């Protein structure tokens, strides 16, 4: 399967997208990336907008398609 690069997002947004792709909750993301909850919510909202994603599930799919997250073996 060809990977589709994710364009137009910052490095930090890419980090957030990666952990969203791993299924982490906002609280878990905040802990993992040393961010406040409000900041995590802002990043997720920006990703939804920038990537034209309908919901968090679509963000997970985009993370997999971009190769940011690998399927479990």
Could you tell me if residue 20 is inside a domain?
yes
Structure tokens at 37: 């909850």
> Can you give the CATH number for the domain in which 21 is found?
1.10.10.10
Q: How many domains does the chain have?
A: 1
CB proximity list for 48: less than 8 A, separation 6 or greater: 54, 55, 56, 59
d(CA 73, CA 54): 28
CB proximity list for 31: less than 8 A, separation 6 or greater: none
What is the predicted pLDDT for the residue at 64? 93
CB proximity list for 45: less than 8 A, separation 6 or greater: none
Could you tell me if residue 70 is inside a domain?
no
What is the predicted pLDDT for the residue at 72? 72
pLDDT tens per residue across all 73 residues of the chain: 557 788 899 999 999 999 999 999 999 999 999 999 999 999 999 999 999 999 999 999 999 999 999 877 7
What is the predicted pLDDT for the residue at 35? 98
Its domain, for residue 36, covers 14-65
Could you tell me if residue 4 is inside a domain?
no
Could you tell me if residue 73 is inside a domain?
no
Could you tell me if residue 71 is inside a domain?
no
Could you tell me if residue 34 is inside a domain?
yes
């Amino acid at each position: 399967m060809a990977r589709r690069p994710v364009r137009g997002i910052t490095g930090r947004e890419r980090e957030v997208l990666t952990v969203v792709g791993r299924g982490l909750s906002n609280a878990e993301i905040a802990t993992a990336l040393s961010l406040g909850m409000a900041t995590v919510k802002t990043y997720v909202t920006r990703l939804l907008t920038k990537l034209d994603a309908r919901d968090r599930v679509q963000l997970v799919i985009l993370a997999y398609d971009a190769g940011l997250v690998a399927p479990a073996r």
